[in-house]
Amino acid sequence: MTTELIVGDDGLARPVWAATDPMMREYYDSEWGMPVRDEHGLFERLSLEAFQSGLSWAIVLRKRPGFRAAFAGFDPDAVAAFDESDVERLLLDHGIIRNRAKIVATIGNARATIALREEGGLPELVWGFQPAEPLRPERLADIPSSSAESVALAKELKRRGFRFVGPTTAFALMEATGIVDTHLVGSHRRGSSGVWPADV
């Protein structure tokens, strides 16, 4: 087994980033990489990945309850109705990451999500970029920060009016929602999503 996996007191192997912090461990064990195929769930993940840009994911995860409260539970219809007064309110909210450009982008992305409903919706678009072959990372260094599919997804999202959705953010979204499996070979989560088998 790679030295980049740590066997916990429960006998399960996890990557270093998910092995010590209880919050990150719980997120890794129960949520990260599991399929998200509904509009609401994907809009939340897309929004949080955009806020994470340039920051640690742990910071975003700790603030997720605050984000959910501030952004109406990430209901696209509710967020799409936000106006400048909501932007000013959010800029004063210590429960979230107070970045005007990202806040404005999230509101715009909610509107873009609604517009997509006429053409199959956000889940159909995002899952349409699932790669044909799985990754088999044995070390963290084997995991790319983007892929041909994430480049194409980012380009299509931008064409549809989404912002803060570059190739790296798109790849992180794909990892978080099970579209790609970047669990290290040997991890107890490898292949657990049901999207990709563990032995490939």
| pLDDT tens sequence across 154-168 | 999 999 999 999 999
Measured distance CA(122)–CA(162) in Å, rounded: 11
DSSP state of 38: S
> CB atoms < 10 A from the CB of 133, how many?
7
| Consecutive H or E run containing 122 | helix 121-127
Measured distance CA(12)–CA(6) in Å, rounded: 8
Using 70 as the pLDDT threshold, list the residues of the chain that sit under it. Answer: 1-3, 199-200
pLDDT on residue 200: 52
Backbone angles phi, psi at 40, to 5 degrees: -60, -50
Which member of 49, 149, 175, 196 is catalytic? 49
Of 132, 131, 86, the closest CA to residue 106 belongs to 86
Is 49 a catalytic site residue? Answer: yes
Is 27 a catalytic site residue? Answer: yes
State the pTM of this model.
0.94
pLDDT on residue 2: 54
Measured distance CA(75)–CA(41) in Å, rounded: 9
- H helix and E strand count, the chain: 9, 2
- Paired strand residues for 71: none
pLDDT on residue 163: 96
Is 57 a catalytic site residue? Answer: yes
pLDDT on residue 30: 95
